């Protein structure tokens, strides 16, 4: 499955990959447990929502990839509002779904950090646009 995530441009988000476990961004995972496969949301290493449990490995992998494709993931950050506006304009003109998630007053300072998130299935295309 790491190859499929690479095609989406999401390979850099894999936090752990073992024979029976793939953890993505520390908060989403697919795991083989005996003859069953489970897909779950995690927080601080604990399962908070079991999204799927099945004996069908292909169904679990397809579900995992579809979830990753539909979720929004970190693309870039900047402290320069003009830079972020240019990137947002480029993403909009390419019809790439994106969200801006600003972080005001980092470390108690009056500095805002501008963060852009992109829908997973568009990550590779978005990266090629902003390079």
| Domain co-membership, 6 together with 49 | yes
**Predicted confidence (pLDDT) per residue in 57-74, tens digit:** 899 988 988 888 888 888
Q: Which two tokens stand for residue 47?
A: 């399962």
Give, as one character, the DSSP assignment of residue 71: S
| Domain co-membership, 62 together with 118 | no
Mean pLDDT across the stretch 23-36?
84
Q: Decide: 114 and 77 in contact? Cβ < 8 Å.
A: yes
> 0.75 exceeded by the pTM?
no
More confident residue, 121 or 5: 121
What is the number of domains present in the chain?
Answer: 2
**Predicted confidence (pLDDT) per residue in 82-131, tens digit:** 999 999 999 999 999 999 988 887 666 777 889 999 988 888 899 899 88
Hey, which residues does 21 pair with through a beta bridge? 18, 31
Hey, which residues does 32 pair with through a beta bridge? 37
Hey, which residues does 118 pair with through a beta bridge? 73, 98
SS3 119: strand
| Domain co-membership, 65 together with 110 | no
The residue length of the chain stands at: 131
């Amino acid at each position: 499955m790491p190859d499929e995530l690479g095609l989406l441009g999401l390979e850099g988000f894999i936090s752990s990959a073992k024979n029976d476990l793939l953890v993505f961004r520390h908060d989403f995972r697919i795991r083989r447990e005996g003859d069953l496969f489970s897909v779950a949301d995690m927080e601080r290493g604990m399962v908070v929502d079991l999204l799927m449990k099945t004996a069908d490995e292909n169904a679990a992998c397809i579900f995992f990839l579809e979830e990753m494709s539909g979720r929004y993931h970190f693309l870039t950050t900047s402290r320069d509002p003009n830079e972020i506006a240019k990137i947002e304009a480029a993403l909009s003109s390419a019809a790439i779904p994106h969200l801006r998630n600003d972080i005001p007053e980092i470390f108690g300072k009056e500095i805002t950090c501008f963060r852009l998130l992109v829908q997973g299935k568009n990550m590779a295309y978005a990266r090629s646009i902003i390079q």
